[in-house]
Amino acid sequence: MPRPFSGKGMACRGHHICSSVLGRKHRSLPRLLKTVILQITELCGAKRVGYFGPTQFYVALKLIAAAQSGLPVRIESIKCELPLPRFMMSKTDGEIRFGNPAELLGTKMQIPYLITEKNTFKRMDDEDKQQETQSPTMSPLASPPSSPPHYQRVPLSHGYSKLRSSTEQMHPAPYDARQPLVQPEGASTGGPGAKPPRHQTSLIRSFSVEREPQDNNSNYPDEPWRITEEQREYYVNQFRSLQPDPSSFISGSVAKNFFTKSKLSIPELSYIWELSDADCDGALTLPEFCAAFHLIVARKNGYPLPEGLPPTLQPEYLQAAFPKPKWECALFDSYSESMPANQQPRDLNRMEKLSIKDMADFPVPIQDVTGDDKQALKNTVDEVLPKDMSEDPATPKDSNSLKARPRSRSYSSTSIEEAMKRGEDPPTPPPRPQKTHSRASSLDLNKVFQPSVPATKSGLLPPPPALPPRPCPSQPEQASEAELHPQLNRAPSQAAESSPTKKDLPYSQPPSKPIRRKFRPENQATENQEPSTTVGGPASVAAAKPHPTVQKQSSKQKKAIQTAIRKNKEANAVLARLNSELQQQLKEVHQERIALENQLEQLRPVTVL
């Protein structure tokens, strides 16, 4: 009897590895006799065909499992439920490639097949590939692209149930088992970068083509770039908070302040702006704003930013996908019926303007999508562009299907949470300082969302990173808020400027000035540094919005501040005196040192000579 696997001369490298791995595996398993192994190889057809194709490998593993569980090594034994085969793998170089399958063998039988498929895809030469395709055992490999609808029907199980391929003399069970994996893999890897960069990303690539037909209700397989209804409403609300008129723009500076709150880095925000401001006018319309917001949310959830604006985030798509009904339900409370009507023609005009440009920039949406996916996307996109208008029924369904799909990263729900959280962050700013905490944004946080409750704010206001932490933050904060009322607190405010409570002015300014923020968004940045000059200014504006509750505490706080001021002044004086004394001592010590050095020099030549 020939040595096991000798016949598997390995015309193809990939198969060689299969067999060598198998051989090694088996050798490391004392329990499986060589005869059994021989039987297995015979049964799975490797011996006949001359190599371990993926299917043979797969079947062989099944047979091994059967053998290990005591079942007779026969084809029929594969059909029943089998525990997974146990292998003791030694981590050699040759096996590292199958290291993943080794781990996964403990979990799923199908994944090794997929891995080997991936590996064989990766490492096969063209001729090998052709060999693969020519052999009858290649039908499973060919099958995924050819029978996508089948995937959706296959239940998520080990799928020993169906025999699919008739040309296969061996077991279609492996192929069936493979299919359910496709669906969960496809479903769970809905987005680019959704999985950690492991073999799964290559699986995404391998199965991206199949995945696309699985997209039930859309022609865009880029799920994370699709805005759901709730997200859309949220974005529209945010837009309205920044700019009441939904048909006009948000200016660049306003948008900048708002997006800076998301704590993304400035280069990333800059890039997101570049992507979303399609007409490069320095302002965001509602669809542009939604796209930008969506990109920010996606980035915060860990998705890498795309190379170009995804098709689902293009302004005309957004406008088409969320037409009047959206406007109506989102805007009815504030606006008349005429508004949506006015917006539509205007939007259409913009669409016309934009459409050409967007067609020109039509991007490759997702960063880590490979060539096949790009091709497929481009094809689907070309089909879909004319169908933009018809997407309306599709998108709500799609959003439902989005949520319905089991995913390890349930994008829609987590993104909503993240977005909501982010949206809520400004109203209740966290007590810790934020990384991209520019001065303007620290003010805006409080200004935009808390126009009326100074008391609660004081406890929550974060200290600006520029100033050192100081004692007793809360009382002086409240007091300094009160100070902004010029009638009451001119004197203490002036005093406050000169004291270390300077730092509290940033807290004090935000609570009372939602109006001022809009008028002078940039001035705020400088105001923190020039409290003396600006307290007067903002104070006068703030006078327009008196806070009756604060006035009650003003007197107490005044005293507290004054005592604090006095104490700090005394401490300052003490430290200054100490400083001068030490300086003097330092001078004296220097002089002594010089004298000693002189002596040393005088003495030295004497000794040398």
Partner 1 sequence: MAVCVAVIAKENYPLYIRSVPTENELKFHYMVHTSLDVVDEKISAMGKALVDQRELYLGLLYPTEDYKVYGYVTNSRVKFVMVVDSSNTALRDNEIRSMFRKLHSSYTDVMCNPFYNPGDRIQSRAFDSMVTSMMIQVC
Residue 17 token pair: 């590895």
Which 558-587 residues touch partner 1, going by CB under 8 A? none
Query: CB-wise, 253 or 563, nearer to partner 1?
Result: 253
Query: How far, in whole angstroms, is CA 60 from its chain's centroid?
Result: 41
> What is the residue-wise DSSP string for 59-91?
HHHHHHHHHHTT--SSGGGGGS--PPP------
Contact 553, 482 (CB under 8 A): yes
Residue 248 C-beta: closest distance to partner 1, Å: 17
Query: CB-wise, 142 or 266, nearer to partner 1?
Result: 266
Query: CB-wise, 61 or 272, nearer to partner 1?
Result: 272
**The one segment of 118-126, 268-276, 388-396, 482-490 that binds partner 1 by CB under 8 A:** 268-276
Q: In sequence order, what are the residues at sequence separation of 6 or more whose Cβ sits closer than 8 angstroms to the Cβ of residue 175?
A: 55, 140, 143, 164, 165, 168
Query: CB-wise, 38 or 242, nearer to partner 1?
Result: 242
Which 506-565 residues touch partner 1, going by CB under 8 A? none
The DSSP bridge partners found for residue 83 are none
Q: For 25, how many CA atoms within 13 A lie in the half-sphere containing its CB?
A: 26
Is residue 280 close enough to count as binding partner 1 by CB under 8 A?
yes
Residue 281 C-beta: closest distance to partner 1, Å: 6
Residue 434 C-beta: closest distance to partner 1, Å: 16
Contact 315, 350 (CB under 8 A): yes
Residue of 30, 70, 267, 371 that binds partner 1 (CB under 8 A):
267
- Using alpha carbons, select from 356, 369, 397, 255 the residue that is nearest to residue 310: 369
**The one segment of 261-269, 442-450, 465-473, 589-597 that binds partner 1 by CB under 8 A:** 261-269
**The one segment of 96-104, 275-283, 478-486, 547-555 that binds partner 1 by CB under 8 A:** 275-283
Query: CB-wise, 22 or 269, nearer to partner 1?
Result: 269
Residue 273 C-beta: closest distance to partner 1, Å: 5
Is residue 424 close enough to count as binding partner 1 by CB under 8 A?
no
Residue 258 C-beta: closest distance to partner 1, Å: 10
Residue 308 C-beta: closest distance to partner 1, Å: 9
Is residue 362 close enough to count as binding partner 1 by CB under 8 A?
no
Is residue 328 close enough to count as binding partner 1 by CB under 8 A?
no
Contact 493, 505 (CB under 8 A): no
Q: In sequence order, what are the residues at sequence separation of 6 or more whose Cβ sits closer than 8 angstroms to the Cβ of residue 59?
A: 43, 44, 45, 78, 170, 171, 174
Contact 242, 283 (CB under 8 A): no
Query: CB-wise, 175 or 259, nearer to partner 1?
Result: 259
**The one segment of 85-93, 127-135, 267-275, 571-579 that binds partner 1 by CB under 8 A:** 267-275
The site that binds partner 1 (CB under 8 A) totals a number of residues, namely 16
Query: CB-wise, 305 or 460, nearer to partner 1?
Result: 305
Residue of 178, 232, 256, 422 that binds partner 1 (CB under 8 A):
256
Neighbours of 582 (CB within 10 A): 10
- Determine the Cα–Cα distance for residues 459 and 480; give it in Å rounded to an integer: 13
Query: CB-wise, 68 or 438, nearer to partner 1?
Result: 438
Query: CB-wise, 256 or 547, nearer to partner 1?
Result: 256
Is residue 368 close enough to count as binding partner 1 by CB under 8 A?
no
**The one segment of 66-74, 247-255, 294-302, 582-590 that binds partner 1 by CB under 8 A:** 247-255
Residue 600 C-beta: closest distance to partner 1, Å: 50
- Determine the Cα–Cα distance for residues 191 and 195; give it in Å rounded to an integer: 8
Residue 243 C-beta: closest distance to partner 1, Å: 14
Residue of 155, 282, 406, 471 that binds partner 1 (CB under 8 A):
282
- Determine the Cα–Cα distance for residues 116 and 112; give it in Å rounded to an integer: 6
Residue of 255, 298, 330, 376 that binds partner 1 (CB under 8 A):
255
Q: For 236, how many CA atoms within 13 A lie in the half-sphere containing its CB?
A: 22
Contact 49, 76 (CB under 8 A): no
- Determine the Cα–Cα distance for residues 42 and 63; give it in Å rounded to an integer: 11
Is residue 281 close enough to count as binding partner 1 by CB under 8 A?
yes
Residue of 7, 136, 184, 252 that binds partner 1 (CB under 8 A):
252
- Determine the Cα–Cα distance for residues 61 and 174; give it in Å rounded to an integer: 10
Query: CB-wise, 194 or 255, nearer to partner 1?
Result: 255
Residue of 271, 353, 433, 525 that binds partner 1 (CB under 8 A):
271
Is residue 253 close enough to count as binding partner 1 by CB under 8 A?
yes
Neighbours of 477 (CB within 10 A): 26
Q: In sequence order, what are the residues at sequence separation of 6 or more whose Cβ sits closer than 8 angstroms to the Cβ of residue 349?
A: none
- Determine the Cα–Cα distance for residues 289 and 422; give it in Å rounded to an integer: 16
- Determine the Cα–Cα distance for residues 303 and 312; give it in Å rounded to an integer: 16
Contact 22, 52 (CB under 8 A): yes
Query: CB-wise, 121 or 271, nearer to partner 1?
Result: 271
Query: CB-wise, 207 or 273, nearer to partner 1?
Result: 273
Residue of 212, 277, 288, 391 that binds partner 1 (CB under 8 A):
277
Is residue 76 close enough to count as binding partner 1 by CB under 8 A?
no
Any idea what the Cα angle at residue 574 is, between residues 573 and 577, rounded to 5°?
85
Residue of 51, 87, 273, 327 that binds partner 1 (CB under 8 A):
273
**The one segment of 35-43, 254-262, 374-382, 472-480 that binds partner 1 by CB under 8 A:** 254-262
- Using alpha carbons, select from 569, 517, 508, 557 the residue that is nearest to residue 535: 508
Query: CB-wise, 253 or 583, nearer to partner 1?
Result: 253
Alpha helices in 29-172 (DSSP H): 34-43, 46-49, 54-68, 93-96, 99-105, 110-123, 126-134, 139-146, 148-153
- Determine the Cα–Cα distance for residues 525 and 530; give it in Å rounded to an integer: 10
**The one segment of 16-24, 25-33, 248-256, 340-348 that binds partner 1 by CB under 8 A:** 248-256
Residues found near partner 1 in the complex (CB under 8 A): 252-253, 255-256, 259, 266-267, 269-271, 273-274, 277, 280-282
